[in-house]
């Protein structure tokens, strides 16, 4: 492993200042599941590692005054998947955290790290896009919040400015009569996703869809949303004909690649399958407690 200076600042401001002293050679350390591999293999020139775990308040879950939830960027996947409020109100996010590696990885890997790694296959990124979550970013010049879907530019590249630090993710209040789901296709249980899908559905009083969002991972350079899903399914009972139109839109939108895990053709076909599965399951979960028959 290469040599580097190690820092454990107690505040966000001090972490940002340390990074600013050597922007090219500094790296923030959250869970370290990806950074440690880079350090071990010398794949990047790192002179300074800034450990964020000593900063209080970056690893918790807080309910906001409007009923939304604020998730600290250093929140471990294991805590995320076990939190009762998350499992109840943001089921898809808990489901996605549950499949990030095995138990040792989930106890180290963080929500912010999963997002800032900028992999189009990042599990938690997909439901966060479907929930229309916001990323809270801090820098020496102040803070800003951006939609999570706008966080990435390309595989491995985010819109974060040099030294800018993600401190939290903000989830909107749970929608009434709603449900969410996460679907994932892999070669083996702990492999990265070949592709994934997440759906959020909120119902009208008569059981028709009021609001629908759909997001897909590993089918384009970044996680993407499919706005046509909301347009097509609005005021429908999520019937087969409507779902078929969504599947068509998905297949026409995605831009998968060929790699060692799957062909682009297979990913394109399965994107439609997973999208339909995620939407149908979300609708079934949403309508069950409402006592509405189709």
Task: Indicate whether 20 and 80 sit together in one domain.
Answer: no
Phi, psi of 292 (to 5 degrees): -105, 135
Can you list the positions of beta strands (E) in 30-118? 48-51, 61-63, 69-72
Nearest to 121 by CA among 37, 256, 222: 222
For 196, other C-beta atoms within 10 Å of its C-beta total 29
Nearest-5° Cα angle at 96, 91 to 102: 130
At residue 46, the pLDDT reads 86
Report yes or no: 177 and 202 within 8 Å, Cβ to Cβ: yes
Task: Indicate whether 101 and 126 sit together in one domain.
Answer: yes
Task: Indicate whether 66 and 117 sit together in one domain.
Answer: yes
Task: Indicate whether 188 and 219 sit together in one domain.
Answer: yes
Q: Which structural domain range is residue 141 located in? A: 61-171
How far, in Å, CA of 260 to CA of 281, rounded?
30
Last residue of a domain, one of 119, 137, 171: 171
pLDDT mean for each 10 residues of the chain (294 residues): 85 95 90 72 78 92 97 96 96 96 89 94 97 96 96 96 94 96 84 92 97 97 97 97 98 93 93 98 88 46
- Residue 167 included in any domain: yes
Task: Indicate whether 13 and 69 sit together in one domain.
Answer: no
Nearest to 64 by CA among 139, 137, 142, 169: 169
Look up the CATH number of the domain holding residue 13. Answer: 3.30.43
- Residue 219 included in any domain: yes
Nearest to 117 by CA among 16, 6, 35, 20: 35
At residue 293, the pLDDT reads 44
Phi, psi of 266 (to 5 degrees): -65, -45
At residue 294, the pLDDT reads 43
Instruction: Tokens 């801090």: give the residue.
Output: 138
Look up the CATH number of the domain holding residue 276. Answer: 3.30.390.50
At residue 105, the pLDDT reads 87
Last residue of a domain, one of 119, 136, 171: 171
- Residue 272 included in any domain: yes
- Residue 194 included in any domain: yes
Number of domains in the chain: 3
How far, in Å, CA of 104 to CA of 190, rounded?
12
How far, in Å, CA of 48 to CA of 26, rounded?
5
At residue 291, the pLDDT reads 46
Report yes or no: 123 and 218 within 8 Å, Cβ to Cβ: no
What are the structure tokens assigned to 17, written together? 């200042």
Distance of CA 126 to the CA centre of its chain: 4
Burial bucket for residue 280 (CB in 10 Å: 0-12, 13-18, 19+): middle
At residue 1, the pLDDT reads 60
Task: Indicate whether 224 and 167 sit together in one domain.
Answer: no
Task: Indicate whether 148 and 247 sit together in one domain.
Answer: no
Look up the CATH number of the domain holding residue 71. Answer: 3.30.465.10
- Residue 292 included in any domain: no
């Amino acid at each position: 492993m290469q040599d580097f200076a190690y820092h454990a600042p107690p505040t966000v401001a001090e972490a940002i200042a340390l990074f600013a002293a050597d922007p090219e050679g500094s790296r923030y350390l959250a869970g370290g599941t990806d950074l440690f591999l880079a350090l071990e293999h010398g794949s990047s020139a790192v002179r300074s590692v800034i450990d964020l775990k000593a900063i209080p308040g970056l690893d918790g879950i807080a309910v906001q005054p409007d009923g939304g939830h604020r998730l600290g960027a250093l929140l471990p996947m294991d805590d995320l998947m076990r939190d009762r409020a998350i499992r109840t109100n943001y089921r898809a996010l808990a489901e996605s955290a549950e499949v990030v590696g095995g138990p040792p990885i989930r106890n180290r890997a963080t929500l912010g790290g999963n997002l800032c790694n900028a992999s189009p296959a990042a599990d938690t990124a997909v439901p966060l896009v479907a929930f229309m979550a916001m990323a809270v970013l801090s820098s020496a010049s102040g803070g800003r919040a951006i939609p999570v879907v706008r966080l990435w530019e390309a595989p491995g590249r985010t819109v974060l400015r040099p030294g800018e630090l993600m401190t939290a993710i903000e989830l909107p209040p749970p929608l009434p009569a709603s449900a969410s789901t996460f679907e994932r296709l892999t070669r083996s249980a702990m492999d990265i996703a070949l592709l994934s899908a997440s759906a959020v559905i909120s119902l009208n009083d008569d059981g028709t869809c009021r609001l629908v969002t759909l997001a897909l991972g590993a089918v384009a350079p970044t996680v993407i949303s499919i706005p046509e899903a909301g347009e097509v399914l609005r005021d429908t009972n999520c019937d087969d004909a409507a779902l078929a139109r969504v599947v068509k839109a998905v297949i026409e939108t995605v831009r998968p690649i060929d790699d060692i895990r799957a062909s682009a053709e297979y990913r394109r076909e399965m994107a439609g399958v997973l999208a339909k599965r995620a939407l149908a399951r979300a609708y079934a979960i949403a309508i069950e407690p409402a006592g509405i028959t189709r």
